[in-house]
Chain A
Amino acid sequence: MKRNNMSVKNMMGLAAVVGILVFSSLSFGEEAYDEDTYGPKAPILWTKPVKGVAFFHKTHTMDAGLSCDSCHDSIFEMAAGTAEQNADFTMASLYKGKYCGACHDGSMAFASNTRCTTCHIGVKGYNKLTGAAPQGKGSGKH
C-alpha cells in the first residue's frame, strides 16, 4: 500500500518535471535570445575606473525594447572596452548626460546617481560572473 502511494507520487512528480521542461522549451522557442538582434548575451564587464560594473544587453534590448542604433555608435562604440579607455568615463560624466547618463537621467531611466548597485555588481559580482563559468567564453554554451 505504502509502496503504491510512493510510486504514484513519483509518477506525478516525473510528469510535472516533464511538463515544466516541455513548457519551458516551448516558451524559449517562442522568444529565443538572438545575439544578432539583441546584442551579445554575455554581460559587458568594466573594471575601470572601478571594478565590477555590469551591462546586460538583454535588459536594454529584448526587455526594454531599445535597438542597436539607440546607443551604437553615437553613445558607445561597438567594440567592447572602448569607453573605459577614455579619461572621462566617470560617474561625473554620466551626470552630465554622457555614456549611460544619456538615458539614465531620472526621466527616461533611473538616474545614474541613484540605485548604484543595479549596475555596480562589485568585485563579488564580478568574480561570480567570471569565476562561475570560466569555460563559457566562446564555447557558445552558457
Chain B
Amino acid sequence: MKIDDLEKLKSEGVENLPSEERRRFLRFGLAVTGVFVGGSVLSLTSARNAQSSMGPVPAEGKFPYSPHYTMVMRQNRCIDCERCMEACVKTNNVPSYGYRTTILQQERAIARGEKERVFMPVLCNHCNRPPCVRVCPTTATYKDKKNGIVMMDYKRCIGCKTCMAACPYNARYFKEENRAIDKCNFCFDTRLSKGETTTACSAACPAGVRIFGDLTNYDSEAYQLIHKPEKVVWVLRPETGAIPNVFYMND
C-alpha cells in the first residue's frame, strides 16, 4: 500500500482495539518491567568475589606464575632524582624520545591551603590480564608462560601501535631503530637472564623506592612489604581490570 493511500484511510481509534490486542500489549509491558525490577533486586545482593575493600593484593596462592615477578613502589620515598630512568636508558639502550619507565608528578592538597609534591614512578605493570596482549594482531607482545613478564617479539611486531593505545599505563613507545614497539621487560634480557636478581632501575634507586621481587617467595622483601599489617597497598587504574603486578604503598 502506498503512503498516499494510507493517508486517505480513516483512523480506527483505540476504542475499537480488540481486548486480545490490549492484553498482549500489557503482557509485553509487564515483561519489560519484570526484567528491570529483577535486575535491580539482583544488583542489591552482594557479589561473592567483591574485594575492593580488601585492596588489590592477590590472595594467598593466587599468583599464576612462578616466579611471579612484581615491583613494589614505596611512593613517598621517591624524590624524582631520575637515577632509575638513567640506569634504564643505559641498560636497555632506550633512545632519547622514548622511555621504559618514567616519573610522574602530582600536587596533592594538604591542610591550610598548602600543597605537597608526590612523585609517582611508572613502568609496565606486567598485568595478569594485559590489554596490550589482547589487542596485538600478530602476537608480537605476549605474556611469558613461566614468569608472567609481558614480552616483545620485535621481529613479529608490525608497528601498528594498537598496544600503545590499549595500555592503561602508557608504558610503550615505538622504537624507530627497531621499527617495533619497545617496553619494559623487567630487564629480563639484559639482567635477569644473566643471573642478576633485580632490575636496573631498582638497583639504581638511592631511596629504596623500587623493590623488585617474586611473590611466590614468601621471604622476599616485595612479598613482605605488600603483606605488612596496617599498610594500605594500591595499584594504578584498578578499574581497567588488567590485574597489574606493580603495587604502590607509602612506608
Contact = CB atoms under 8 A, between A and B. Distances in A.
B5 to A, nearest CB: 54
B81 A52 contact: yes
A141 interface: no
In this complex, the interface size class of chain A, counting residues with CB under 8 Å from chain B, is 10 to 19
Nearest to B77: A116
Contacts of A3: none
A139 interface: no
A123 B86 CA distance: 12
Interface stretch (B58-66, B113-121, B232-240): B113-121
Contact of A122 (B76, B80, B206): B80
B116 A122 contact: no
Contacts of A124: 80, 103, 105
Contact of A125 (B80, B83, B206, B207): B80
Contact of B105 (A50, A116, A122): A122
Contacts of A49: 206
A50 B79 contact: yes
B221 interface: no
Instruction: Name the interface size band of chain B.
Output: 10 to 19
Nearest to B83: A50
A68 B11 CA distance: 97
A117 B81 contact: no
Interface of A: 49-53, 115-118, 120-125
Contacts of A51: 81-82
12 contacts: A50-B79, A51-B81, A52-B81, A116-B79, A117-B76, A117-B79, A117-B117, A122-B81, A122-B103, A123-B81, A124-B105, A125-B117
A52 B117 CA distance: 13
Nearest to A51: B81
Interface string B39-80: 000000000000000000000000000000000000011111
Interface string B132-155: 000000000000000000000000
B76 A116 contact: yes
Nearest to A53: B79
A121 B79 CA distance: 7
B117 A121 contact: yes
Contacts of A118: 116-117
Contacts of B105: 122, 124
Nearest to A49: B206
A116 B116 contact: no
Closest 4 CB pairs of A and B: A122-B80, A120-B79, A117-B117, A50-B81
Contacts of A122: 79-82, 103, 105, 117, 119
A125 B106 CA distance: 12
Contacts of B118: 117
B132 to A, nearest CB: 27
Contacts of B207: 116
Interface string B158-193: 000000000000000000000000000000000000
A139 B105 CA distance: 30
B116 A123 contact: no
Given A50-B206, A117-B80, A121-B117, 11 more contacts: A50-B79, A51-B81, A52-B81, A116-B79, A117-B76, A117-B78, A117-B79, A120-B81, A122-B81, A122-B105, A125-B80
A125 B221 CA distance: 31
A51 B206 CA distance: 11
